[in-house]
Chain A
C-alpha cells in the first residue's frame, strides 16, 4: 500500500478505510451487548429529565450552528448591522462587488506602482 508521506505524516486512503471499517466492526460488536427489549415509541425511549415532561423546543431554545460564533458576531455587531444590509442574496450584486473589489485592487496596484 503506497501512500503519501510528508513531514506532516502519512496519508493512505486504503489504510484509513480499513481502520474505519475495523472501528465500525468493534462499535457494532459493543452495541450488540446492549439491551434489545426496549419498547419503541413508549416512555422507555424518551429522554429522562428528572421525571419532567420533555418540553417542545421553542425557536429561541434551538441551538443552531451559528451559536458557535455568536460572540464574534455580537462583538462586531456594529459592523454586521451595515454589512447585512448589503447581503441581498442576489448573485448579480455579489458579482458587482467582486468586480468592484478587483477594480479597486487594480487601481491601488497601478497607483502605488
Chain B
C-alpha cells in the first residue's frame, strides 16, 4: 500500500506543555508507543523548536509560561504549524478565567489545528498532526515562508 501524499516527508514535532495536567502529554507519548508508532511515518518528537515543523502545545497558558511559549514560537522556523492538544489549550477548559491563566493558546500564538478532548485519544492527536502536514504542504506550495 502506498503511503498517502501527506506522509512523503519526515515531520519533526516539538512538544510544549504550557500548564497541562499531563493527561494530554501522556496521550502524546502513547502515540509514540508500538501500538500507534507514529515514528514509522517519520513523525518524531524533537528536543528543540529550532528543528521542528510542528509545535504540539498542551494545556492552558499559565502566566509564567506566557513569554516562554511566545519565545518558543519565535524560535520555530517557517513554515510551521501549531497543533493544540486538549480542551485546556483550546478554551482554557476547567481553568477558564483562573487567576493564574493568561488564556487559551490561540490568544498567545496563532493556532492552525485544534484537537479537543480531555484528553484526546492518540488517534485524534495523530489525525491533528496529519492535518498539520497538509497545512505545511499547502504553505510550501504557495511559497509562504512566514505568516
Contact = CB atoms under 8 A, between A and B. Distances in A.
B49 A48 contact: yes
B68 A42 contact: no
Interface residues of B, number: 17
A35 B48 contact: no
Contact of A46 (B16, B69, B75): B75
Interface in B48-63: 48-50
A44 to B, nearest CB: 5
Judged by DSSP, the binding face of B is helix
Contacts of A50: 68
Judged by DSSP, the binding face of A is loop
Contact of B145 (A37, A43, A53): A37
Interface in A1-58: 35, 37-39, 42-44, 46, 48, 50-53
Contacts of B75: 43-44, 46, 48
Interface in B94-147: 145-146
Interface of B: 16, 48-50, 65, 67-69, 71-72, 74-78, 145-146
